[in-house]
Amino acid sequence: MNSKLLTETSKFLSFVLRHEPQAIGLTLDSEGWADVDALIGAAAQHGRALDWALIEQVVATSEKKRFALSADGACIRAVQGHSTSSVAISFAEKVPPAVLYHGTAQRFLESIRKEGLKPGARQYVHLSEDVNTATAVGQRYGKPVVLTVDAKAMHVQGFKFFQAENGVWLTAGVPHGCIAS
């Protein structure tokens, strides 16, 4: 399959599995799972041709590992990044590494310095364990800036951390006092 089709399909899956399943009449359970057959049918009713092979290839080849198939392969979900209130994945709480990183754009720095990191429309702030990943994330929004988060201090203060299946670290927010740039 060509890379353009895989990229377009990944973007479509991100949209319906993270943000607006109702746009195609799809229902997600509270853990974000959707029946693959229902997804294929709902997408077809809205002019998007999907099949099992295409979905499996997107899941398998996604560099960011944004999606997961259930153990029986019958369901699919986005592993994190949801903005829909119907999904509340029950991640296991984990002790974070001492330092995590957040990629953002230069234009957001003033607000972050005043208010810290907030999840915005998403359920969690996304953090990474390495600078390269954070830089790549920041580039999506303009001139990238990588912020260093004192995750150890946050954890000691009682902040909860979770880790999605694709390695992304999640927390409800990061106070400005725990951020260095």
Q: How far apart are CA 155 and CA 164, in angstroms?
A: 17
**CB environment 28-56: b (16+ within 10 A), e (fewer):** beeebbbbbebbbebbeeeebebeeebbe
Give the mean pLDDT of 58-78: 93
Q: What is the pLDDT of residues 129-155, one digit of tens each?
A: 999 999 998 888 888 999 999 999 999
pLDDT band at 122 (very low <50, low <70, confident <90, very high): confident
Q: Is 19 helix (H, G, I), strand (E, B) or coil?
A: helix
The pTM score is 0.78
Query: In the prediction, which pLDDT does 50 show?
Result: 96
Q: What is the pLDDT of residues 17-53, one digit of tens each?
A: 999 999 999 999 999 999 999 999 999 999 999 999 9
For the cut 80, the answer to whether the pLDDT of residue 1 exceeds it is: no
pLDDT band at 84 (very low <50, low <70, confident <90, very high): confident
Give the mean pLDDT of 94-102: 97
As a whole number of Å, the CA-based R_g of the chain is 17
Domains of the chain, first to last: 3-78 (1.10.10.970), 99-180 (3.20.170.30)
> DSSP per residue over 35-63, as a string?
EHHHHHHHHHHTT----HHHHHHHHHH-T
